[in-house]
A and B are shown apart, each in its own frame.
Chain A
Amino acid sequence: MMGDGIQVKIGDELPPFSRKGTLEHWNRFAAVNYEFAPHHWDVDVAKAEGFDAPFSMAPLQLAFFHAMLRDWMKENGRIVSVSAKLRGPFFKDQTLTAGGHVTAITPGEEETMVNLELTQTDETGRSIAVGTAQIALHQQGTNTGVA
């Protein structure tokens, strides 16, 4: 096992996960997800649909939440659920920062369930997405601080 163990308590903040919105990145995701809707890269199409600029794919934004959770828990657990509600577009050339904090901890016999609230904002603080997640931490790698 390569897990280093993890200490968790309610209110803990996850290390943020940030990416700039670039076509170089989005093209790569479009290629692996077969996702070529023109509003992700064509400014005229985006404007015709009511947006100021091309914007990211929702599944990529959801992947950012997953990446942040994986970076945080490493080998100490597994993702049980992740949800994201999109509040506003993640426009090209903006920088998205995903964050999260622990809201509940429920110890079990084999796994400790940890609930989190998640956010995505741009560099101005505008909300791009909100979400929730639940992860299951393996008992041997967990110190929840729960008596």
Chain B
Amino acid sequence: MAESWVTEDMQDIVGAVMRESISHPVSVSDIRKWAIAVYYPETPPRNFWDEAFAARTKYRGIVAPEEFNPFAWSTQQPSLTDPKVSQTAFSERELGVRPPDFKAILLTEIRERYGPTRIRPGDVIRSTVRISEYFEREGRMGHMLYTTLANEWHNQAGEWVRTTESVFVRY
């Protein structure tokens, strides 16, 4: 096993809140575009784009696909004028810790859990991200550092919507 890439400073930030974000209010257009992008080149299910149809479903209106991301492009917090942080990546620098040098970073595993509350147009979602775990392995690409990020989402009423655990590998 090669020397560990996990420094004491990195261990110290495990469990600490790395990032809190607040989405803009979700729009029907956001949901439509997401569904179109996922189902392309086929037409997505009607309940994601036809408001009259969706009103007759059990949700009584359009709800977002479970995997929908309301944090793409722009958020209320952080604002556009703050340093840009991709919601689909991360860096220990967000907590003032120097990350290891690496050639590539890949998302290798995703675990999603959902509450019964769906995201609807008008919802404002709060995201709280923490590093929950580091582990290392030797792999095809050499020494590989795995980092698990836990991302909890709640809506404006404080209802739990979703928790995502994303496992990134750096090598």
Contact = CB atoms under 8 A, between A and B. Distances in A.
B1 interface: no
Given A78-B116, A79-B114, A33 B109 contact: no
Interface of B: 30, 33-34, 36-41, 45, 56-58, 65-67, 69, 72-73, 86-89, 103-104, 106-114, 116, 140-141
B88 A59 contact: yes
A66 interface: yes
Interface of A: 1-3, 24-25, 28-29, 31-35, 37, 39, 49-50, 57-60, 62-64, 66-67, 70-71, 75, 78-86
Interface of B is mostly: loop
A126 to B, nearest CB: 15
B45 A85 contact: no
B54 to A, nearest CB: 10
Given A2-B56, A33-B72, A34-B72, A62 B41 contact: no
B88 to A, nearest CB: 5
B73 A63 contact: no
B56 A81 contact: no
Q: Which of A49, A50, A60, A63: most chain B CB closer than 10 A?
A: A63
A25 B116 CA distance: 30
B27 to A, nearest CB: 12
